[in-house]
């Protein structure tokens, strides 16, 4: 029976490259000359620690980071920008969590979307992925198209297609 997996993973090397490219670009920009900037990646927890002089520079830093990550193949939805930055003395600090793996509630959203579509497929949650099986590959391709067009707010990848 054909099947595939729906996952939400971020490659650590691509994220590290995006951080390095952002650091290089920001250090060369004229509007950031002489200002305090810090981008730090915690590779174990997939968290970014950002520091800038003020809120405007923090927003510009985030904009450059997201655009460079997008060029590295990381979807902008992978960054959890919901947490507000805080000011500590003269420095703005912000922690950005990078979503890696499907959380249980996100996996339930994906399964509900697939089941509500009425296709002849089965979707099951297995740890941090959703496995979709069906009798026809065409049905599986419809599920992929459905997940791409729906606005779940998740960076989804479709891997492990088996016949």
Q: Rounded to two decimals, what is the model's pTM?
A: 0.82
Per-position pLDDT tens, the chain of length 163: 888 999 988 889 999 999 999 999 988 888 888 888 889 999 999 999 999 988 888 899 999 999 999 999 998 988 988 888 888 788 889 999 998 888 888 889 889 998 898 889 998 898 888 999 999 898 889 999 998 888 888 888 888 888 7
Q: Which domains does the chain have, with CATH numbers?
A: 3-8+102-162 (3.30.70.860), 12-98 (3.30.70.990)
Angle (CA) 152 21 70, round 5°: 20
Q: For 7-128, where are the alpha helices, taking DSSP H only?
A: 12-28, 55-71, 104-116
């Amino acid at each position: 029976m054909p099947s595939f997996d729906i996952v939400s993973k971020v490659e650590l090397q691509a994220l590290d490259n995006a951080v390095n490219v952002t650091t290089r670009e920001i250090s060369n920009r004229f509007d950031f000359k002489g200002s305090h900037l810090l981008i730090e990646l915690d590779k174990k927890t997939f968290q970014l620690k950002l520091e800038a002089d003020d809120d405007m520079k923090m927003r510009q830093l985030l904009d450059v980071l997201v655009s460079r990550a997008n060029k590295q193949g990381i979807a902008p939805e992978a960054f959890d920008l919901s947490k507000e930055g805080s000011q500590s003395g003269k420095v703005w600090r912000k922690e950005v969590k990078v979503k890696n793996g499907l959380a249980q509630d996100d996996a339930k959203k994906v399964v509900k979307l697939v089941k509500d579509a009425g296709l002849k497929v089965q979707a099951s949650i297995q740890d941090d992925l959703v496995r979709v099986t069906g009798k026809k590959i065409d049905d599986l391709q419809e599920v992929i198209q459905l997940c791409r067009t729906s606005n779940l707010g998740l960076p989804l990848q479709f891997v492990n297609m088996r016949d």
